[in-house]
Each structure stands twice: as structure tokens, then as C-alpha cells.
């Protein structure tokens, strides 16, 4: 009863102080839950729900004695996401409560401080060093935004749980669009988790024209079911890849100068560029694939994003990947703006080798031999592995069927081109080799 009355009081305070009137799915459940998981479609208001709950918790009854009544962790796929979306975004904490002091990077201050002394730190979950940041800090509340998109989810979550030990009842709020991540499924099945669900259509303030366009473009597709309807999809019937086909293995290292270092027979960066750049344009697929010293194939990085064709956009990112991974070349499809790709990459670094590949068969036919490499075959030594989970790439791989009208998957396309360049080029396509761009 005490918890229920506190929830009602908090809801009343939020509405009266800020004028915020939450939708039903944005209201935290009552009761003594350990995890509240808001599984919701894009634009449904899940980030605002998380921000409002965090703000209410920080202003509520102290979890800790002393000058700092609450210590909160705000975790997103990357540190920039935590700052740009959870803190400074249109639905973030500074919009929920302008009295919060935001001091990013201050040496002796928390990232966020409330007037009552409550503190919060922002974290990413993208790189190994992000995981190490969870060693040591303790918290009474963790806000896990876009949990299913955390690249280092499996490594980071145990470290976060070890530090979730302050106050009488430490809690976690998960706000995410669903993806087929085993850890997410495990937590949703936990008896201490309460799940709320919402679709993109459950936010009446989303511009109607935008809603209509999204549902017209993605309605009925596997991607739409996941991103708009917030469905946790299992394997899609007819998809070229099944989830069980994707296995993770760290590429082998060799000894060089007394130190174990990564080494590869070949590395390529593949680019599948978007033809336009706008808020609703496709992403540019940027995938780094390699053949290891053991003769197996490895996907090393997914750097795809919605970026402009500028030095600071996808051309710059692709060239940096070329240098960072010591790649042999950058591969792009000639049929899809190939000359444009060559030209814009040359503005970043004219010495980077660019190879344009020409599709001679359809997308499904091109992808099928790549998918076959994920299956163990005693008559073939080479098998393809992922060096770590790549949620967005794997979602595209395990949902694409090639049905008419299905959206072209940018990350998967880039991956297919990369593997084709490394293994299969002579079997179904032609290639235009260019020494330098």
C-alpha cells in the first residue's frame, strides 16, 4: 500500500509541477518490482517515460543517508546517446526538470545533480572500456535506454547488477524497442520484472503525416512489426539467416614481438550508401569483414548510421575504418551510386583503394551463398562468425526474405558485398578494381 500511494503521489507531482500528462503506458507499474521494462515502438514516448521516472525517483524519498540521497546510472548504447537522447534530448531529463544541473565531464562533479543533491552519471555500452566503467560505482536506480541495442550488453549487464546495491530496493527501468537479444528475453521472463508495451500508434502527439508514412512504408514487414508494433520477433519464416546460424567467436591472434596481436589474411570495408540524406532517409551500411589467420571469416564491426556524404559523414567514417582496421580496400556497389562513392571517398583520402562491384544477380541470389557460410560444412573449411553481437545487422539478416516491397537492408547489403569481395567474387558478380580512388 505504501508503494502504491507513493506512486500516486509521484504521478500527481509530475503532472502538477510540469504539466506532463502521461499516457497509460508511460506510467510505472505499482508494486515491489525489480525491473520495469517498457517495450515500445519508435516514437511511442518510452524515452520520456524513462526520464520522468528517473526525475521522480531523484526527487523522492532518499535511498541513501547523507548529502547525496540517490546515485543513478543512465546507460545507453553509447555515451553520446546517453547525453544527446536521455539528458539533452527533446524528451530527456533536462526537459523533464530544467532545475537539474548538467556538468558533463566535470572532474569533481556528477554529470547530473538535482537541487536536493541526488546525482546521476551517464554511461555508454559500446566498447570494452565502457564495460570497465561499471566496475566500482554503486547505484540505487539504473535507467537502461535502448537496452536491446547495447553492443556490449552481455559483458556490461553483470557489472551493472553488481553495482545495483544502494538503498532498500534497487531498481532498473528498461526502455527499449525489442530486438532478439537473449539477455533481454531472460530479464523479461524474470519474476521480478513487470512489462509494459506500446506501439508507435500509442503516441497521439506524433505528427499524423509522419505516422501514416511510417506505417505505409514498414507496415506488414518484419522490421515494422519490431520497430512500430514492438513485437519480439522469433525467426522469420523464409529469412535467409536463422538466429541459431549466427555464432560468436573472437578472431585468433598471433604472436608478434612477444605480444599477441590480431592478424588477418584480408580485411575489407564495405559501403552501401543511402541515395539521399534526410531525417527519414535510409542508413548507409558500413561493415568491416575479414578472413582470419585460421581461414575462417569474421565480421569485425558494424559502423552503419544515417550520415551525410561529407568528410564528417559516412565517407569519413568509412575511411577511418579502412585505416583503423588496416583494410585492403573499400568496397561499394557500382550499380548504387558507385562513381559518387569513389568521388566522395577521394575527398577524404585519395590514396584509399576503392573497388566497385557490379551485381549480376538479384539480392536474394547474391545473399544466399553468404548465408551458407554460416552453416558448418565438413566439405568446406571456411565458416563465418561474428566477433561480437551486432544487433541491427543481425536483425536485418534474420528478417530479410526478399518478398516484393520489402525494404532493402543497408547493413546486410554491405555485409554481403564485403563477404563477396573476400570469398565469393568470382562466383556471381564482376568487379572493377581501382588502384586508388
Whether the per-residue pLDDT at 101 is higher than 50: the answer is yes
Set of cell numbers at residue 173 = 527501468
Please state, in angstroms and rounded to a whole number, the distance separating the CA atoms of residues 60 and 69.
9
Please check whether residue 291 is in contact with residue 423, taking contact to mean a CB–CB distance below 8 angstroms. yes
Quick one: cell of 57? 525517483
Query: Does pTM top 0.85 for this prediction?
Result: no
Report yes or no: 83 and 42 within 8 Å, Cβ to Cβ: no
Give the chain's mean pLDDT: 85
- Residue 7 binned pLDDT confidence (cut-offs 50, 70, 90): very low
Phi, psi of 267 (to 5 degrees): -135, 135
Domains of the chain: 2-227 (3.40.50.300), 243-434 (3.30.420)
Query: 380-384 long-range contacts, Cβ below 8 Å, gap at least 24?
Result: 381/295, 381/296, 382/291, 382/295, 382/296, 382/297, 382/423, 383/296, 383/297, 384/296, 384/297, 384/298, 384/299, 384/419
Q: Which of 142, 122, 193, 147 is closest to 40 using CA atoms?
A: 147
User: pLDDT tens, 33-56?
Assistant: 999 999 999 889 999 999 999 999
The listed range with the strongest mean pLDDT (62-76, 221-235, 351-365, 423-437) is 62-76
CA distance 371 to 378: 16
- Is there a contact between 230 and 177 (Cβ–Cβ < 8 Å)? yes
Distance CA 85, CA 75 (A): 11
Phi, psi of 245 (to 5 degrees): -75, -25
pLDDT, mean of residues 355-372? 82
Specify the pairing of strand 171-176 against strand 112-113: unpaired
Residue count of the chain, please give it.
Answer: 437
Has residue 167 got a pLDDT over 80? yes
**Is the pLDDT at 212 greater than 60, yes or no?**
yes
Residue-level pLDDT at 277: 67
pLDDT (tens digit, 9 = 90+) per residue, 102-130? 998 776 789 999 999 999 999 999 888 99
**243 CA to centre of own chain:** 17
Residue 327 has what pLDDT? 95
Place 255 in a pLDDT band, splitting at 50, 70 and 90.
low
Helix, strand, coil fractions of the chain, as percent rounded to 5: 35, 20, 45
Q: Tell me the per-residue pLDDT of 325-342, one tens digit each, with 9 for 90 and over.
A: 999 999 988 766 667 888
Q: Which residue has the cell 502521461?
A: 22
Cβ pair 289, 297 in contact under 8 A: yes
Q: 194 forms bridges with which residues in the sheet? A: 36
DSSP 21-66: ---GGGSPPPSS-SEEEEEE-TTSSHHHHHHHHHHHHHHSS-SSSS
pLDDT value of residue 335 = 66
Is residue 429 scored above 70 in pLDDT?
Answer: no
Residues 6+ apart with CB under 8 A from 49: 22, 25, 26, 27, 28, 38, 175
Segments in 141-196 forming alpha helices (H) = 153-163, 182-188
User: Over pLDDT 70: what percentage of the chain?
Assistant: 85
Would you state the cell numbers that stand for residue 226, as one nine-digit string? 519490431
Query: Residues 273-326: pLDDT tens digits?
Result: 887 766 666 789 999 999 998 899 999 999 999 888 888 899 999 999 999 999
Amino acid at each position: 500500500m505504501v508503494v502504491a500511494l507513493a506512486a500516486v503521489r509521484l504521478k500527481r507531482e509530475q503532472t502538477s509541477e510540469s504539466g506532463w500528462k502521461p499516457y497509460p503506458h508511460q506510467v510505472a507499474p505499482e508494486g515491489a518490482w525489480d525491473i520495469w521494462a517498457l517495450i515500445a515502438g519508435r516514437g511511442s514516448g518510452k524515452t520520456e517515460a524513462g526520464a520522468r521516472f528517473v526525475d521522480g525517483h531523484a526527487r523522492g524519498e532518499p535511498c541513501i543517508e547523507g548529502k547525496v540521497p540517490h546515485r543513478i546510472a543512465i546507460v545507453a548504447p553509447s555515451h553520446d546517446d546517453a547525453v544527446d537522447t536521455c539528458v539533452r534530448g527533446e524528451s530527456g531529463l533536462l526537459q523533464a526538470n530544467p532545475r537539474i544541473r548538467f556538468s558533463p565531464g566535470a572532474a569533481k562533479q556528477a554529470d547530473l545533480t538535482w537541487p536536493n543533491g541526488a546525482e546521476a552519471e551517464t554511461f555508454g555500452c559500446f566498447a570494452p572500456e565502457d564495460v570497465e566503467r561499471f566496475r566500482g560505482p554503486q547505484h540505487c536506480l539504473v535507467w537502461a535506454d535502448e537496452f536491446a541495442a547495447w553492443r556490449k550488453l552481455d559483458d556490461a549487464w553483470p557489472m551493472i547488477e553488481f553495482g545495483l546495491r544502494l538503498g532498500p530496493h534497487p531498481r532498473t527501468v528498461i526502455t527499449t524497442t525489442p530486438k532478439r537479444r537473449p539477455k533481454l528475453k531472460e530479464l523479461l521472463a524474470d519474476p521480478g520484472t513487470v512489462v509494459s508495451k506500446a506501439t508507435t500508434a500509442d503516441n497521439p502527439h506524433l505528427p499524423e503525416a509522419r505516422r501514416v508514412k511510417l506505417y505505409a512504408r514498414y507496415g506488414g514487414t518484419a522490421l515494422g512489426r519490431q520497430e512500430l508494433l514492438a513485437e519480439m520477433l522469433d525467426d522469420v519464416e523464409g529469412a535467409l539467416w536463422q538466429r541459431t546460424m549466427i555464432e560468436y567467436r573472437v578472431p585468433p591472434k598471433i604472436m608478434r614481438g612477444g605480444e599477441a596481436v590480431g592478424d588477418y589474411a584480408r580485411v575489407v570495408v564495405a559501403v552501401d550508401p543511402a541515395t539521399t540524406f534526410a531525417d527519414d532517409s535510409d542508413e548507409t551500411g558500413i561493415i568491416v569483414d575479414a578472413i582470419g589467420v585460421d581461414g575462417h571469416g569474421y565480421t569485425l564491426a558494424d559502423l552503419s548510421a544515417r550520415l551525410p556524404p561529407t568528410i564528417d559523414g559516412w565517407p569519413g567514417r568509412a575511411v577511418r575504418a579502412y585505416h583503423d582496421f588496416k583494410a585492403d580496400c573499400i568496397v561499394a556497389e557500382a550499380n548504387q551510386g558507385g562513381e559518387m562513392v569513389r568521388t566522395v571517398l577521394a575527398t577524404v583520402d585519395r590514396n584509399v583503394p576503392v573497388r566497385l562491384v557490379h551485381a549480376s544477380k538479384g539480392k536474394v541470389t547474391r545473399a544466399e551463398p553468404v548465408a551458407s557460410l554460416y552453416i558448418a560444412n565438413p566439405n568446406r573449411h571456411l565458416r563465418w562468425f561474428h566477433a561480437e553481437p551486432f544487433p541491427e545487422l543481425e536483425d536485418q539478416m534474420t528478417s530479410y526474405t526478399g518478398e516484393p516491397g520489402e525494404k532493402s537492408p543497408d547493413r546486410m547489403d554491405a555485409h554481403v558485398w564485403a563477404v563477396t569481395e573476400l570469398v565469393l567474387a568470382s562466383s556471381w558478380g564482376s568487379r572493377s578494381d581501382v588502384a586508388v580512388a
